[in-house]
C-alpha cells in the first residue's frame, strides 16, 4: 500500500544512490586494507598494501568528486523547477 504513494526516483537520484554505495564499499576496502597492512610482515606484501591503499584513495576521491557534482546538478535542477 505504501508503494502507491512512494515517489519514483529519478535517474539522477538513482545515480547518486549508486555512487553512495560505491563510496561505502570503497571505505570498507580501505579499512580492510589498513588491517592487512598492519598484519603484514613481508616487505613485498607491505609494498603491495601501500599500492592498494593509494589506488583505493584515488578511487575514493574520484567517487567523491562525482557524487558532489551529481548532487550539485540535482540541487540546481530543483531550483530551476521551483523557479518556473
- pTM value? 0.78
Dihedral sign (CA 67, 71, 76, 80) = positive
What is each CA distance from 10 to 13, 14, 15, 18, in whole angstroms? 5, 6, 9, 12
Tens of pLDDT along 30-48? 999 999 999 999 999 999 9
Q: pLDDT by residue for the chain (84 residues), tens digit each? A: 456 677 788 889 999 999 999 999 999 999 999 999 999 999 999 999 999 999 999 999 999 999 999 988 877 666 655 555
Q: Is residue 3 a part of any domain in this protein? A: no
Q: Are 33 and 53 in contact (CB under 8 A)?
A: yes
Distance (Å, whole) CA 68 – CA 19: 10
Which range marks the domain in which residue 73 is found?
A: 14-83
**Count of C-beta atoms within a 10 Å radius of residue 63:** 20
Domain assignment present for 6: no
Domain count, the chain: 1
Amino acid at each position: 500500500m505504501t508503494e502507491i504513494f512512494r515517489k519514483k526516483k529519478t535517474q539522477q537520484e538513482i545515480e547518486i544512490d549508486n555512487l553512495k554505495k560505491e563510496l561505502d564499499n570503497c571505505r570498507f576496502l580501505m579499512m580492510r586494507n589498513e588491517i592487512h597492512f598492519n598484519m603484514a610482515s613481508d616487505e613485498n606484501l607491505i609494498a603491495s598494501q601501500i599500492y592498494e591503499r593509494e589506488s583505493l584513495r584515488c578511487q575514493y576521491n574520484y567517487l567523491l568528486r562525482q557524487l558532489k557534482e551529481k548532487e550539485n546538478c540535482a540541487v540546481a535542477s530543483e531550483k530551476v523547477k521551483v523557479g518556473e
